[in-house]
Each structure stands twice: as C-alpha cells, then as structure tokens.
Amino acid sequence: MFSMSKYFTSILFLLFSFSVYAQDDEEETDKPAAIDSFYQLRLGFDISKPIITNFVHERQAYEFELDFYRKKDMYYVLDAGWGRGYQDSAYLNYKSSNTFVKAGINKGLFTRLFPNDWDQAFVGVRYALAFIERSDARYTIFDSFWGNTSGIIQGKNQTAHWVELTGGVRVELAKGLFTGWTIRGKFLLNGKQFKDLPPPYVAGYGRGDKNSIFDFNFYISYAIRWKKKGL
C-alpha cells in the first residue's frame, strides 16, 4: 500500500506541476488570444446517485462539482458532497455517514477552436478527503451447539483519503447549460484502518472494504462567464 500511495502521489505532483507550467507559459502561437477571452465558473450536480439510491437502498449520496476555466484548456476542480450507508442483516447491523471534498484539475484533450466552443473531453486527477462517523455495530453469532452470542462494537469517527484518475466529457446543450459524465479510478491510501469493520458505504468513494474502485458520475451543470479585463 505504501508503494501505491507513493506512486499516485507522484502522479498528482507531476500533473499539478504541468498545470502550473501551462498557466505560466504565455506563448499562445497555436490559437488566437480571443479563444481565451472569457473565464468560466461551472456548478454541476450528479443526478445518477439519487437515481441509484431508489434501487440500492443501503446507500445514499449527493455529489456536486465546481470547476473554473482560466485558459489553455485547464480547469481547476472542486468536488464535494455527503451521504450515508447501511449494513442491516441478521448477523450485523450498523450505519455510517460522511462528508467529503476533492480538489484537482481537468485538462482538455482537444484545443478550443472558437470563443463559444465550450464542449470538452478531458483527463484529470483528484485528491480526496472524507470525514466518516460510524455508529455502534450490533452483531449476533449463531451457534446451535454453544448458543447464540450478541454484542456491540463501539462506533468511532474515521478519516479516509484517496486519489482519483478521471476522464470524461461535457457538452453544452444551450448557453451555459451542460451535461456530461465522468469516470473515476479511485485508490484508497489508508485502507488498513477499515480492516476490522469498514463503513458500509463512503459517499464520494464507495464501499469501505475496497482499496480500489471504479465509479462514474453523470452531471447536469450550469456555467457563468465573464470577459477578461483588457480583452
């Protein structure tokens, strides 16, 4: 796990270094300056998670995305949300709830050709942090010979952190109104703390007993734009 953490931390560092280099480089010989004459701030809501909740009642999540476009097909991204999970069976019963926040970048794969061209395909990276509250867990061990045994495992507060590699698309349906999806490869960095009794579900990540997960979001977003000064 340490080597995996070190590997993905290196990826995070390299991508952020690339972001700083790209933003500081003022040579724009491959496209007119007018292409980057506007800033954009976009807020999105993942509509897939509430839909999934209707079919999988053991988990609930609400996820939002905020991204900011400055120039050169680079977007600074902040994700946040909250949710809960339930484990309910004859053998074990407990629940967990959490909030989370993620920060990172998306890099467009194709250069914008026109000032009003805001459709994008992208790859990106995130660092994520979740604050988890796990309730007391009630368990029962069934044994026909020795008899049944019941007990309680005390609840606790936990913190999870992970990195994500992302890819996706955004399409502008009308002025400022977007739809699109994101796929995510998620890699938990401190999974050992969940070895004995993991949270049933971590909003923003997934099952607490998995060290790596692939997930997706489907967003409806709205953006506002304003012209850069001097352009």
**Residue 147: per-residue pLDDT:** 72
Per-residue pLDDT, 32: 52
Which single residue is written with the structure tokens 């701030």? 41
Neighbouring-strand partners of residue 121:
169
31-54 residue pLDDT tens: 455 688 899 999 999 999 999 988
Q: What is the pLDDT of residue 231?
A: 60
pTM: 0.83
Q: For position 142, what pLDDT does the model report?
A: 84
Count CA within 13 A, CB hemisphere, residue 59. 19
Classify 2-21+39-227 by CATH class.
mainly beta
User: φ and ψ at 116, to 5 degrees?
Assistant: -95, 15
Any idea where the domains of the chain sit in the sequence? 2-21+39-227
CA-CA distance, 210 to 186, in Å (whole number)? Answer: 10
Looking at the DSSP bridge assignments, the partners of residue 170 are 120, 180
User: What pLDDT, on the 0 to 100 scale, is given for residue 13?
Assistant: 52
Stretches in the chain below the pLDDT threshold 70: 1-34, 231
The model's pLDDT over 193-209, given as tens digits with 9 standing for 90+, comes to 888 899 999 999 999 99
For residues 124 and 78, the answer to whether their CB atoms sit within 8 Å is no
